[in-house]
Amino acid sequence: MDPFLKRLQKINTIEHALEELKSQITLSDKLQEIIQFCIAAHDGQRRKSGEPYIVHPILVATLTAHFNQDESVVATALLHDVVEDTTYSLGFIKDKWGDDIAHMVDGLTKIVEIREHELAPSNSSNSKLMSSALTFRKMLIASIDDVRVLIVKLCDRLHNMLTLNALSEEKQLRIAEETLVVYVPIAHRLGISAIKNTLEDLSFFYIYPDEYKKIDQFIKTHEHKIQLTFNKFISNTTSLLERNGFDTSKIQIFSRIKHYYSIYMKMQRKGVNIDEVLDLLAIRILVEDDIDCYKVLGFMHLEYKPLIARFKDYVATPKENGYQTIHTTVFYNSKIYEIQIRTFAMHKVAELGIAAHWKYKSGVGQAPNLNWLKSLEFSNNNVEEFYSNTKQDLYSEDIIVYSPKGDIYTLPRGATAYDFAFAVHTDVGSNALESFINKVKKPLLTELKSSDIVAIKTAAMPIARCSWIDMVKTSRAKKHIKLLCSHRQKEINELSGKNIVDTVFSRYTPEITEQLPQKSLFKIPSTIDYLKHVKKIIETDISKTKNFVTRLTLLTRKIKEYQFDNILIYSNFSINSVLFEHCCHPKFGDEIVAFKDGNKAVIHHQMCDKAYAKIKAHQQMLFCSWIHDTVYQYKMVVSLPNTRGELAKLLSYMAQYEIYILGVNFGREKHSYIQYCDIEFEIKNANTEEVKKIIQKKVKVIDFFSKKDAYK
């Protein structure tokens, strides 16, 4: 826990509380007047712990000042329980200190009233308690029109959680669960990670004390070793950046261990023990300018081995709440490190969220648009997911978007404008041409945010976008893309079969396939033997009506095989080269088609729009296929028990599948249960998932990718 919070946790006197408040903000005459008023108003009241009640409002104000220096907000924190717990009215506060403070105090009083009305009693069943907590959260968000109220409420809850040990076990559990369901998602949405992380850990301590204790014992037992590992990595990284022109006095590098609840959730989602949590060891690098983030990233990736699948760039694409950081994970000295790279300004926003840059003019002030926060009202969360340790995050909410006419559509977070099109109507999705989000033209795969107004422009005919099936979020969109593409693929196969046969006989007669039954032509692009069979039938028919020279030419014009690297071309014309078109970038294993351009074969992805236009125009085509006996290279990081012979067992197992080892990097540390091993190998199998499953049968795979596709 942060040293500042630890100090606050121990304070139980008015004098010490005031000292801490003064360390966070200079007390104006107005604040001093309010403090004296609150001390008098709460005189005689005590908390369950026995300390004077006024200690709580003063420390809530101290927390608020730590995150936000706005005098009105700090004043509201001091006064937040006056209307609820004393004889003074809201009108008194309004007359004494103005509309702005009274407005915020009223908002905090409403939250208490909603909680009493919506939250089930502590003796209710767990499911009822959780359901009512979700309802309370939705009502709470709906009632707030000034986000400063939420900042004060979060600080209020944080201090309550810091002093929860004074209550009974039953109340501790109930308040901890309520905190996790109601307040953690709000802190997350406001981007105040310092509050979110602390609330999570404190809730975790009371909800799952045994699991908390295990993680705590592990961290404390390995604290010295972890710190030495951090020190070595930080020293190497500092030297690396210094060698590459960075002034180390203008950057900051520090280590951190993930907070306990985050570690626990990772263990549950991935089914691993704490020794295998990837980003237990984390480094944060702070730099001056945005561009420096990318320079540091480049040097880190060149120096260490990056785990490609774990790279995220939130600098170029910030989260809704303003969070900006580059996340990457590297493999170094048999350990895995998460690295976060951000500027000092980004760090302030990441820690303090919306409170970091909150400014008000006179009066209540102009608050930013809170529609993104309001989406918490529409959550369909099932809190049972938390108890059954599913992969869903507690605060991964649905979003609400609108059509230009005001119709409401609920979509899962991460949904695109293309998902929206299919949600409106199947025909709108199938014929979608482009999208307009908040009246600005955007790509169809643009991720939507709550409260977006989305319009879709459609084409006259359906457009098949088969490569997009993994880029949409909703099952409805996936289903219709698949259906649309199956129809398109059948049409393409039939037309391609016709074009290939017509090309074979183009010397003798145009469009020979008009004389053939059309229903079997779809087999030709995928089966060379069937193409040869059809050719033989047509040749037999032609030879009955043609002269001797034509018959002789037909017999000598056999279909030949031409090999170019990984591509086979079959043709009765001379083909001397293969070109890959840049419009669709076909990669190995994709369904492909080939067009004849003189003595060249031009390769397109089968679902390429340009290829489709050429196919419909009956351009000359050739039979093509991939050569499937090529060797493919892969890289992986696996975790192995730190016992003698484990690496040898793995390599022997891999040899059974005709896997050839190219390189092994295996560092060992004496007292670690798990060691990480970096292995590079090759195999005659192009299917990355199949190869990965072979390895997973023997060991736990941390990172796995084909070298060919690593940076695609």
- The pLDDT of residue 495 is 92
Mind telling me the catalytic residues?
84-85
Distance (Å, whole) CA 211 – CA 234: 30
Name which of 351-365, 453-467, 468-482, 514-528 the model is least confident about.
351-365
| Banded pLDDT at 383 (limits 50, 70, 90) | very low
Do the beta carbons of residue 341 and residue 293 sit within 8 Å? Answer: yes
Q: Enter the DSSP assignment of 524.
A: G
Of 396, 372, 1, 394, residue with least CA distance to 197: 1
pLDDT of the residue at 517: 63
3-state SS string for 618-659: CCCEEEEEECCCCCEEEEEEEEEECCCCHHHHHHHHHHCCCC
- The single residue listed with the structure tokens 């908002």 is 107
Quickly list H helices, 208-256. Answer: 209-221, 223-243
pLDDT at 709: 54
Q: What is the per-residue pLDDT for 258?
A: 79
pLDDT(536) > 70 = yes
Greatest mean pLDDT among 230-234, 328-332, 596-600 lies in 596-600
Cβ neighbours around 117 below 10 Å, total: 11
108 C-beta neighbours (distance < 10 Å), count: 22
249-274 in b/e form (b: 16+ CB < 10 A) is: eebebebebbbbbbbbbbbeeeebeb
Instruction: Note the pLDDT tens digit of each residue in 405-439.
Output: 877 787 888 899 999 999 999 999 999 999 999 88
User: Tell me, what's the pLDDT at 371?
Assistant: 47
pLDDT of residue 297: 94
Instruction: Determine the 3-state secondary structure of 53 from DSSP.
Output: coil
Q: E strand or H helix at 349, and its extent?
A: helix 344-352
As a dihedral over the C-alpha atoms of residue 498, residue 500, residue 503, residue 508, rounded to 10 degrees, the angle is -60
Note the pLDDT tens digit of each residue in 209-224. Answer: 999 999 898 888 887 8
Is pLDDT at 116 greater than 80 in this prediction? Answer: no
For residues 409 and 709, give the distance between their C-alpha atoms in angstroms, rounded to a whole number.
Answer: 37
Question: Can you give the pLDDT at residue 381?
Answer: 43
Q: Which residues contact 530 (CB under 8 A, 6 or more apart)?
A: 523, 524
Closest by CA position to 641, among listed 677, 694, 680, 681? 677
What pLDDT does 424 receive?
92
Angle at CA 300, nearest 5°, toward 299 and 302? Answer: 65
Q: Closest Cα partner for 51 from 163, 174, 176?
A: 163
Calculate the alpha carbon distances from 666 to 89, 330, 660, 669, 673 in Å. 70, 15, 17, 10, 14
For residue 379, is pLDDT > 90? no
| Contacts within 8 Å (CB) and 24+ apart, 213-219 | 214/274, 215/260, 215/263, 215/264, 215/274, 216/260, 218/274, 218/275, 219/257, 219/260
Range with lowest mean pLDDT among 256-270, 378-392, 531-545 = 378-392
161 pLDDT higher than 90: yes
Residues written for the chain? 712
Helices and strands, number each (H, E), in the chain: 28, 21
DSSP bridge pairs for 603: 580, 594
Q: How confident is the model at residue 365 (pLDDT cuts 50, 70, 90)?
A: very low
Evaluate whether 465 touches 489 at the Cβ level (below 8 Å).
no
Average pLDDT over residues 363-392: 37
For the cut 80, the answer to whether the pLDDT of residue 608 exceeds it is yes
Tally of CB atoms within 10 A around 473: 17
pLDDT of 361 reads 31
- CB 352 within 8 Å of CB 67: yes
Closest alpha carbon to 500 in 614, 595, 576, 566: 595
pLDDT at 138: 55
Please report, rounded to a whole number, the percentage of residues in the chain having pLDDT higher than 90.
31
Listed range (54-68, 212-226, 517-531, 678-692) with the worst mean pLDDT: 517-531
Q: What is the mean pLDDT of residues 556-571?
A: 84
Q: How confident is the model at residue 276 (pLDDT cuts 50, 70, 90)?
A: low
| Cβ-based neighbour number of residue 543 at 10 Å | 15
Any idea which residue has 């910030």 for tokens?
318
Q: What is the tens place of the pLDDT at every residue in 13-68?
A: 999 999 999 999 999 999 999 999 999 999 999 888 889 999 999 999 999 998 88
Looking at every residue in the chain, the average pLDDT score rounds to: 81
Instruction: Out of 147-156, 416-425, 537-546, 624-633, give the one with best mean pLDDT.
Output: 416-425
CB half-sphere exposure, 702, CA atoms < 13 A: 25
The Cα–Cα gap between 423 and 410 comes to: 9
Query: What average pLDDT does range 172-189 have in this prediction?
Result: 83
Classify residue 432 as left (phi > 0), alpha (psi -120 to 50) or beta. Answer: beta
Over residues 85-96, mean pLDDT: 90
Predicted confidence band of residue 458 (pLDDT cuts 50, 70, 90)? very high
Look at residue 351 and tell me whether its pLDDT is greater than 80: no
Residue 150: pLDDT over 60: yes
**Mean pLDDT, residues 107-114 taken together:** 73
Please give the share of the chain, as a percent, with pLDDT higher than 70: 81
